[in-house]
Amino acid sequence: MEIWELGAKNIREQVLRKEISAQEVLDSFLARTAEVEPKIHAYIELIEPQARLDAARVDALIMRGEDPGPLAGLPVALKDNLNLKGVQCTCASRILEGYISPYDATAVKKLRKAGAVFTGKTNCDEFAMGSSTENSAFGVTRNPWDLQRVPGGSSGGSAAAVAAGMAPLSLGSDTGGSIRQPASFTGVCGLKPTYGRVSRYGLVAFGSSLDQIGPFGNSVWDCALALEAIAGEDPRDGTTSKRPVPRYTEGLKRPVKGLVAGVPREMMELVTDPGVRREFERALKIISDLGVTVVETSLPTTEYCLDVYYIIAPSEASSNLARFDGVRYGRRAKARDLDEMYYETRGQGFGIEVQRRIMLGTFALSAGYYDAYYLRAARIRTLVRRDFDKAFAAHDVLLSPTAPMVAFKIGERVDDPLAMYAADVLTVPVNLAGIPALSVPCGFSRPDESGPELPCGLQIMGKPYDEETVLALGYAFEEACSDWFVPKTAAMRKSLSSQEECEVVVRDTI
């Protein structure tokens, strides 16, 4: 078995036992990347020289007998909307092409301190706006399970990198499902922590009241390890919680027997793919067998969540993205005067989906419409939160499929915003409520008779700051499925090696 095929847990243990060096670990992942990246295009930029320095530093610490940190030598890929000092941070947008960040995001700083080795910046939808990673100025990322399909989005590059074995861990950001939905589409684990659990400092803001950074991993354990490293209060982000950070990896084996899980009926009504529904129901059976009481429950506002989300997130985004004006950094269009500079820089620099959301949000905040749109949405958000509070009064966790469908074909939805937005319908309620949720692979569906099987995800939603219960149930579930899921992933990765390289598709609407 190659090093890259081992999970984060095994790699870390072997590094700490000095059986392998951080540099050998990196070599293995870089070799794997060289092999499959031309087919996947998960990265916007690989940063091999810096990564080698990071790995050497970890090895030096181990040699000296110093503590290299809990992520000792683990390669981590970063979504390109996270600031890593000295490295380009483009958010997959032309407007930031060539922008070299002068500072580290708090999550990045914490990972480095924990001994992580950064491999590069991964592709995503421009400014994290999208559900397929097709809205990137730097080409489309492909789904390792079927190269004709999207990896989901917006953190599609981070998801695909882990799924294809290019990195054992990666970070993404989740504003309306951007970690969980691509995790579901690519058959990996992805966690959106509670709002306020992980500092947003250094994450390029999209919807500030919704954004959270979270990890992707091959297993729940890997996600728990990464969360442990990045969570906690940050004096630079006044919305982070003071609560102490539990040892998530140690809580994984907590008994799940006796937990009560609710399945919101309104969410189930939104599941369009019969295969997804079938696999979810099978997952419920497995969970019942673990001793969890599974009952139907209700979140009456579910049907409004997508609309509320598509008012609040674009409103905040319209303000957050106003700073990309070509004055202090990023690209500036040629212009004769100030106004022309603004219009041309922003007209040329942003892709169509980003412009669409800026327009939507600008409208929702504008004079005469604020009350009817933004304020009304903010009030309904309160109702959504109340629904969740009520549901959590009677249930320890809530369960649903992560996405109502499996990965769709590249180009299939990209020109129909409402069809694209529908991919988030089961994930946005979680962001509106600010609660934690994990997507863990739960089965396969074959939408095309002739095509390959595609993974689908189980979404486990928890009470605010109760990542421990979410992770514990995810861990128990994963254990129960590992004998059939793990071999399928291995087979996918193997077949990936034999596939043809794929050309980079850059969509012309960007």
Partner 1 sequence: MSETQYELNVGLEVHVELATASKMFCRCKTKFGDPPNTNVCPVCMGLPGALPVANEEAVRLGVMAALALNCRVNLSSRFDRKNYFYPDLPKAYQISQFEEPLAVSGYVELASGKRIRIRRLHLEEDAGKSMHAGDDITTASYSLLDYNRSGVPLAEIVSEPDISSPEEAREYLEKMQRTLRFAGVSDVKMEEGSMRVDCNVSVRRKGEAQMGVPVELKNLSSFRAVTRALAYEYDRQSRLIEQGKRIARETRHWDEDKGVTVSLRAKESSQDYRYFPDPDLPRLELDEAFIESVQRAMPRLPNQVVDFYVNVLGLPKYDAEVLTVDPNLVKFFDRCVELGGEPKPVSNWLMGDIMAYMNAKGLSYDTIPVTPENLVAMLGLIKDGVISGKIAKDVLIKMFETGKAPGDIVKEEGLEQVSDDASLSVIVDSVIAANPEVVAQFKAGKDKVLGFLVGQVMKASKGRANPAKVNIMLREKILS
Partner 2 sequence: MKIDVKHVADLARLKLSEDEMRRLEKDLESILLRMERLKALDVEGVEPTFGAGDVQRLVLDQDRPAPGLPREEVLKLAPSSEGPYVSVPREGTPGDAPQGSE
Give the catalytic positions in this structure.
79, 154, 178
Region of 56-64, 94-102, 143-151, 178-186 interacting with partner 2 (CB under 8 A): 94-102
In whole angstroms, what separates CA 385 from the centre of its chain? Answer: 22
Q: How many CB atoms lie within 10 A of CB 98?
A: 10
Q: Which of residues 181-200 bind partner 1 (CB under 8 A)?
A: 200
Sequence-separated (6 or more) residues with CB below 8 Å from residue 357 = 129, 313, 314, 317, 318
Measured CA to CA, the distance from residue 468 to residue 463 in angstroms comes to 10
* Minimum distance from residue 246 beta carbon to partner 1 (Å): 24
Q: Pick from 45, 88, 103, 344 the residue near partner 1 by CB under 8 A.
A: 103
Shorter beta-carbon distance to partner 1: residue 78 or 496: 78
Tokens of 105: 């995001």
Q: Examine residue 132 and say whether the peptide bond preceding it is cis (omega within 30 degrees of 0).
A: no
Whole-angstrom Cα distance, residue 37 to residue 402? 26
- Give residues 352-371 in contact with partner 1 (rule: CB under 8 A): 362, 365-367, 370
CB nearer partner 1, residue 10 or residue 362: 362
Which region, judged by CB under 8 A, interacts with partner 1, from 287-295, 313-321, 433-441, 461-469?
Answer: 313-321
**Are residues 440 and 286 in contact, defined by beta-carbon separation less than 8 angstroms?**
no
CA distance 33 to 47: 12
Q: Which of residues 29-88 bind partner 1 (CB under 8 A)?
A: 81-83
Token pair recorded at residue 428: 């946005």
Query: Rounded to the nearest 5°, which phi and psi values hold at 221?
Result: -55, -45
Q: For partner 1, which stretch binds (CB under 8 A), given 112-120, 318-326, 347-355, 475-483? A: 318-326
* Candidate list 10, 241, 298, 499; residue touching partner 2; CB under 8 A: 241
> How far lies 382's CA from each of 94, 176, 386, in Å?
36, 17, 6
Question: What is the footprint of partner 2 within residues 380-399 (CB under 8 A)?
Answer: 380-383, 385
- Regarding 377 and contact with partner 2 (CB under 8 A), the answer is yes
Contact yes or no for 128/146 (Cβ under 8 A)? no
Residues 228-287 that bind partner 1 (CB under 8 A): 235-239
Asked whether position 326 contacts partner 2 by CB under 8 A, the answer is: yes
CB-based contact 431:210 (threshold 8 Å):
yes
The smaller minimum CB distance to partner 1, of residues 338 and 506, is found at 338
Task: Using the rule CB under 8 A, give the single segment among 110-118, 291-299, 327-335, 451-459 that binds partner 2.
Answer: 327-335
Q: Is 334 in the site for partner 2 (CB under 8 A)?
A: yes
- Which two structure tokens, joined as six digits, stand for 126? 């421009």
219 and 188 in contact (C-beta within 8 Å)? Answer: no
Contacted entry of partner 2, partner 1, none for residue 286, CB cut-off 5 to 8 Å set by kind: none
Task: For partner 1, give the closer residue by CB, 83 or 154.
Answer: 83
Q: Which entry of partner 2, partner 1, none binds 100, CB below 5 to 8 A by partner kind?
A: partner 2
CB of 356 to partner 2, least distance (A): 6
Q: Is 209 in the site for partner 1 (CB under 8 A)?
A: yes
Nearer to partner 1, 317 or 426 (CB): 317
Question: Can you tell me the distance from the alpha carbon of 117 to that of 51, in angstroms, rounded to the nearest whole number?
Answer: 6
- Cβ 396 to partner 1 shortest distance, Å: 28
140-159 residues in contact with partner 1 (CB under 8 A) are none
Regarding 201 and contact with partner 2 (CB under 8 A), the answer is no
Q: Smallest distance, Å, CB 431 to partner 2?
A: 8
DSSP code at position 482 = H
Q: How far apart are CA 126 and CA 457, in angstroms?
A: 24
Residue with tokens 């506002």: 301
Q: Closest approach of Cβ 51 to partner 1, in Å?
A: 21
C-alpha to C-alpha distance for 175 and 208, rounded to whole angstroms: 8
Any contact of residue 145 with partner 2 (CB under 8 A)?
A: no
